[in-house]
Amino acid sequence: MKKVNLLLVSFVLLSVVFSGCKKEKEGVAPTGPEKAPTSYSQKVVLEYFSGAWCTFCPDGIVYSDKVQNAVGSNNFINYVIHSNDKMSFDKGNTLINLFKPAYPTGMVNRVDGKAANRTTWEATANIVKTQTAKCGFKIDASQKEGDKYKVNVTLGIGAIDLPATQGKYFITVVAVAKELSGTGTGWDQVNYYNTQNGHPFYQKGNPIVGYKHKNVAFDILTSATGDAIPTENLVAGKLSNYEFTLDLKGQPASNMEVVAIISEFHDDISKTGIEASYVLNGAKVNVGDKKGFE
């Protein structure tokens, strides 16, 4: 009888133990694939074209600053693609050959798929900033590997699928130098406004020797027009991860940032190639730092 009672007590104790373990697990949410945020802040992305040889190009930064003031620095991303000077490079030249810009003209989120006069930038930016973002990025550029940096970019799709039948989507990642300067041809900035009283560049010289060129497109880590995003990565909640290596080529990390944009190329019979492009959203981070989804 004692033996039976001992077995019964043991069974009861084991039941309590297992019951307790099960109860603890009931409060743990089942694990599954990580999902992207459902919403993002809309960024205004200004890409404009310039050259040290260009007489009117000092005006580009004046109008760029107007856009930044209008939309706020936290929502503003820009980089300058240089032509035929010491800051030009092959992938930048590819974009120049495709967009065929005047100087300085530029694109706010590539609205209308072409470079536009600087006097239109602010009005376009004010329209873009009110739109609802469908996707966004987080970027980690904090990992140094020797004299290079490992750059991880994650694209997140929001609450609804991107309409795959509407166009094709591409991710472009650009290394941007916050400031570059030098002296001599290809660095010194030709300046029409040297004699224009009231202009910010009045009596700054022509050319401006040792001019500090701002937000210069330094390298493009993807292809010039971006890397294609697979259709299966355009669905709501999807995360797509990309990894790149950034060579600073002697620049200090403190002078560099990384920009990521997602662009769409519409299948429009009235437009071809890059002319049918539109930038849905973008993000930026300083090299040596990382930033989550916004």
Give a yes or no: residue 39 inside a domain.
no
Is residue 31, in this structure, part of any structural domain at all?
A: no
pLDDT of residue 23: 37
Q: Confirm whether 23 is domain-assigned.
A: no
| DSSP string of 71-116, one letter each residue | H-GGGEEEEEEE-SSTT--HHHHHHHHHH---TTEEEETTGGGS-E
Q: What is the pLDDT along the chain (294 residues), one digit of tens a residue?
A: 444 444 333 433 334 333 443 333 333 334 456 899 999 999 999 999 999 999 999 999 999 999 999 999 999 999 999 999 999 999 999 999 988 999 999 999 999 888 999 999 999 999 999 999 999 999 999 999 988 999 999 999 999 999 877 778 999 999 999 999 999 999 999 999 999 999 999 999 999 999 999 999 999 999 999 999 999 999 999 999 999 999 999 999 999 999 999 999 865 545 544 446 799 999 999 999 999 999
Is 8 inside a domain boundary? Answer: no
**CB-hemisphere CA count at 13 Å for 121?**
31
CA dihedral 149, 97, 100, 133 (to 10 degrees): -40
**231 three-state secondary structure:** helix
What pLDDT score was predicted for residue 282? 98
Q: What is the CATH number of the domain that holds 120?
A: 2.60.40.10
C-alpha 290/C-alpha 153 separation (Å) is 10
Residue 4 confidence (pLDDT) = 42
pLDDT for the residue numbered 113 = 83
Where in the sequence is the domain holding 214, given as residue range(s)?
44-291
- The CA angle 262-291-240, to the nearest 5 degrees, is 40
Using CA atoms, how far apart are residues 195 and 192, in angstroms rounded to an integer? 7
Whole-number Å distance between alpha carbons of 255 and 120: 29
Residue 27 within a domain = no
Is 10 part of a structural domain of the chain? no
State both tokens at 273: 């190639």
244 part of a folded domain: yes
pLDDT at 265: 83
pTM reported for the whole predicted model:
0.86
AA letter at 289: D
How many domains, in total, are found in the chain?
1
* 11 exposure class (CB count in 10 Å sphere: 0-12, 13-18, 19+): exposed
pLDDT of residue 2: 43
**Cα 33 to chain centroid, rounded:** 25
Tell me if 278 is assigned to some domain.
yes
Q: How far is CA 127 from CA 94, 121, 130, in A?
A: 28, 10, 6
